[in-house]
């Protein structure tokens, strides 16, 4: 049978181990909470910038109140801009394809075993 002081040492040891584990968990939780607060602060700064930028943008107009000719002109402008962007992409791709396929195989220096 264990003496009374043996039980006392066991419980004191268990209590100290519990306090150490709780302290370590509290420290890690505090560090994580501080990291979350830093991230939230950065997020608030970014959203403040976005709010300032969005205030500068024009608000969408209500199409019901606009004249039909203005709506058609806006629509045609958007279509023309998209077509211009598409044509520009197409021209860049064609130019790249021409650069890639421009190499003349007859003037290339081939390794000796390939002749």
pLDDT in tens, the chain (115 residues): 789 899 999 999 999 999 999 999 999 999 999 999 999 999 998 888 877 766 665 666 677 777 888 889 989 999 999 999 999 999 999 998 888 887 666 666 767 776 5
d(CA 68, CA 79): 16
Q: Say what the pLDDT of residue 36 is.
A: 97
Q: Say what the pLDDT of residue 105 is.
A: 64
71 contacts 63 by C-beta, under 8 angstroms: yes
Q: Say what the pLDDT of residue 21 is.
A: 98
Q: Say what the pLDDT of residue 99 is.
A: 82
Domain boundaries, the chain: 1-54, 65-100
d(CA 78, CA 85): 11
Cα of first residue to Cα of last residue in the chain, in angstroms, is 95
Question: Which pTM value belongs to this model?
Answer: 0.42
DSSP at 62: P
Q: Say what the pLDDT of residue 52 is.
A: 75
């Amino acid at each position: 049978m264990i003496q009374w002081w043996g039980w006392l040492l066991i419980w004191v040891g268990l209590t100290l181990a519990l306090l150490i584990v709780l302290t370590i968990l509290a420290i890690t939780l505090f560090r994580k909470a501080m990291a979350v607060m830093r991230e939230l602060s950065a997020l608030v700064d970014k959203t403040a910038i976005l709010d300032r930028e969005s205030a500068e943008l024009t608000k969408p107009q209500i199409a019901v109140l606009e004249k039909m000719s203005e709506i058609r002109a806006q629509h045609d402008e958007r279509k023309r801009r998209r077509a211009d962007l598409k044509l520009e992409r197409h021209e860049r791709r064609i130019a790249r394809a021409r650069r890639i396929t421009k190499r003349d195989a007859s003037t290339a220096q081939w390794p000796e075993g390939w002749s």
